[in-house]
Structure 1
């Protein structure tokens, strides 16, 4: 996911109308996001809101100065601090990172930990994960493994896929904790569900040798490959259908996303049918110009399938694009 989009989504969780407006503009491709140079109007708007005291805008402005094309870490730290002092958890986390790395401020591990703890208390999973790494690598004396596991568990439970994956490794190897394969498997699956590509591939490998996997292994393989994980993509090249034909052509843009949509729509591979997930994956495939996904969405909007509201104009736009790409069903539909 584009990092700025992720930030905007985080900032709309409290119902702030302005950040919701920014997210709407992003979705409509009206908001430049590539760099500070090419999004000057956006930065100017951020500055105006930030100077009014809006904590979300202060955080986003700090992010621009920390990560935009024209960087100024000192200014970034100043805006992060303003937002952090108002209780903005992402800003508290990022200010902690600046103290940890010594970017824009004097390096100070105590300050880094203090700000990360404030963000963690507010539920920021990445701050929790950072605390785990701190107690592993930078504790005053020897690594504090009890604190490492404590913070990684909290991070994983709040949505940090890497922390969950780390716990899988700890329990699998018996590293600083009692070896426990059940716990290792539980955290691996948690990591996969949270979107960790390597965890998804490893779940596939585990379920591939399990005769009772109900095909779920294929689902996790596709999820991993969809994120570009090399081993998963290579494995996908070997998949065949019942007739011995290649199941998925990775050279076709959107092919993986389209197949994931099919799996969710029909409840294949041990999944429960899920219209919302199916439509989500069809949209992703359509954005890559997958003809089958475009046609499928055309039918959805024409007939109100999969919980989609009927919209003839939108249906025709999908049909037209599918037809342009050579989809015969779409061509027949349009006459």
Structure 2
């Protein structure tokens, strides 16, 4: 029994160390990105990603997607986002979903947003809610917008305000509640909410 306990502790320790492989390089890469030292950033993030560190993969993908220090390379970006997703990175799920949405691959976009939202990613919740909102699937949109709004996501707060102002999805119109959502969204810097309040 004692030997089994030692083996389990060893395996857990090994797993913890293994999961951190590439973290140091990731931090160096992010520090270089913050200084817009793209060559150094790319070098360190490539090492981090190749060691299997999820955040390193995600940041490397972002560099390829946005052309930081290079030409944009969507195939390479998508490759690294997918690898990061395989490691459970929810930010990568959101980013890949946005690429799919911008490429009119809506089913794939929905899947990515839903996957991230169900894992608790606030941006995933917001984007999934908005995805349904723009398709007038208001009953599907409402719970995800509410979840994001509970975490003070500005755009979710604004769209909830719209739902209560206009009664989308059969919701009872409640201008008081709509105004509360608009004010809260505006206080978080949402431009649409700020403009909406100015028209009242």
TM over 0.5: yes
Which runs of structure 1 show a deviation greater than 6 angstroms over 4 or more consecutive aligned residues?
none
Could you tell me how far 1:93 is from its partner in structure 2?
0.8
**Aligned residue in 2 for 1:111:** 108
Work out the CA distance in 2 between the residues paired with 1:150 and 1:80: 27
In the alignment, is residue 161 of structure 1 matched against residue 154 of structure 2? yes
Unaligned residue ranges in structure 1 (runs of 5+):
1-14, 207-335
Q: 1:17 to 1:193 in 2, by over 3 A?
A: farther
- 1:97/1:179 Cα in 2 relative to 1: closer, same or farther (>3 Å)? same
**Hey, what does 1:264 align to over in structure 2?**
none
Flag the structure with more relative contact order, 1 or 2, with Cα contacts below 8 A and sequence separation at least 6.
2
Contact 1:66 1:72 in 2 (8 A): yes
Alignment TM-score, normalising by the size of structure 1 = 0.47
Superposed CA RMSD? 2.8
8 A contact 2:66–2:72 mirrored in 1? yes
**How far does residue 197 in structure 1 lie from its aligned partner after superposition?**
3.8
**TM-score with structure 2 setting the length:** 0.75
Larger Rg: 1
The separation in 2 between residues aligned to 1:204 and 1:98, in whole angstroms, is: 34
Residue number among 122, 133, 138 corresponding to 1:136 in the alignment: 133
SS of the equivalent of 1:123 reads coil
Question: Post-superposition shift, 1:128?
Answer: 1.6
How much has 1:196 moved relative to structure 2?
A: 1.6
**85-94 vs 150-159, which moves further:** 150-159
Q: Deviations over 1:187-227 (max 9, x none)?
A: 12331333324435666887xxxxxxxxxxxxxxxxxxxxx
Which has the larger helix fraction? 2
Cα distance in 1 between the residues matched to 2:131 and 2:194: 26
C-alpha spacing 1:21/1:201, structure 2 compared with 1 (3 Å): farther
- Contact 1:99–1:112 (8 Å) recurs in 2: yes
Aligned-residue offset at 1:111: 2.4
1:32·1:42 contact (CA, 8 Å) conserved in 2? no
1:301-334 per-residue CA deviation (whole Å, 9 max, x = no partner) reads xxxxxxxxxxxxxxxxxxxxxxxxxxxxxxxxxx
Gaps of 5+ in 2: 1-19
SS at match of 2:168: coil
